[in-house]
Amino acid sequence: MIDMRGFGDQLWAGTLITIELALASLALGLVLGLLGATARLSHNKLARTISTGYTTLIRGIPELLTVLIIYFGATTVLMSVAGMFGYDEYIEVGPFAAGVTALGLTFGAYASEVFRGAILAIPPGQREAGLAIGMSKFKVFMRITMPQLWRLALPGLGNLFLVLLKDTALVSVVGLDDLMLKTRDAVSYTKEPFLFYLFAAFIYLSLTIVSMVFIHYMEKRNNRWMGRA
């Protein structure tokens, strides 16, 4: 472990929080993105309206502002809802939960467009053939659409995750003990901003490189049968 003026352990702990935040936000964002894409392509006008409103709203607001709104507004909303059922205790939304929610919402809004494009790229004749042989719409989606969906959407989702990984630094403004907050604490104590910010940049770069290698591996694995006779 690199000592870094005695802050090595804290920076490592902050890095782990950053990774956990990114992965949790990714999981939430993938679910929201897939739901948003299917809603945009459904024949239900209400579902299309809700999905379009969600993606337009979230993509039009800076990520930092989304984090702040979720962190400071979620407590008020939850207490108001709980009050309707007679619960009057204070409800606090922690910075990690607020960060996951905000980043997951943002990732999901962009991912829904990636998923929608991937679904549209799948020849509709394949789904029609599945329905023609008696498969339900759910089976068609799970057995025909989904396997191709991930292969087509993976490059776009990979790029979105790289952006998400760097956006985790925004959550430090609401007090999450991530890499960025630990770095600022070290700078305040040692008065060596160049050293610690450069080291933080190296960590973020390392996480990005590892993510890019993994994404490349997944793309190569998903395309291993393409082009074979």
* pLDDT at residue number 225: 61
Distance CA 174, CA 163 (A): 20
Is residue 100 assigned to a domain?
yes
Distance CA 112, CA 52 (A): 10
Distance CA 136, CA 147 (A): 16
Is residue 97 assigned to a domain?
yes
Q: Which residue has the tokens 């050293």?
A: 195
Is residue 29 assigned to a domain?
yes
Range(s) of the domain holding residue 117: 8-222
Is residue 1 assigned to a domain?
no
Is residue 73 assigned to a domain?
yes
Is residue 105 assigned to a domain?
yes
For 185-219, the pLDDT digits (tens) are 999 998 899 999 999 999 999 999 999 999 999 88
Is residue 60 assigned to a domain?
yes
- Distances from the Cα of 116 to the Cα of 55, 58, 108, 225, angstroms: 12, 17, 12, 23
Distance CA 87, CA 168 (A): 33
The CATH number linked to 198 is: 1.10.3720.10
**98: nearest Cα among 80, 78, 74, 77:** 74
Distance CA 179, CA 158 (A): 22
* pLDDT at residue number 226: 60
Distance CA 54, CA 109 (A): 7
What ranges in 41-145 are assigned the alpha helix state H? 45-59, 63-84, 95-121, 124-132, 137-140
Confidence of residue 5 (pLDDT cuts 50, 70, 90): confident
**4: nearest Cα among 207, 206, 197:** 197
Distance CA 125, CA 142 (A): 16
Domain count for the chain: 1
Is residue 32 assigned to a domain?
yes
pTM for this entry: 0.89
Confidence of residue 229 (pLDDT cuts 50, 70, 90): very low
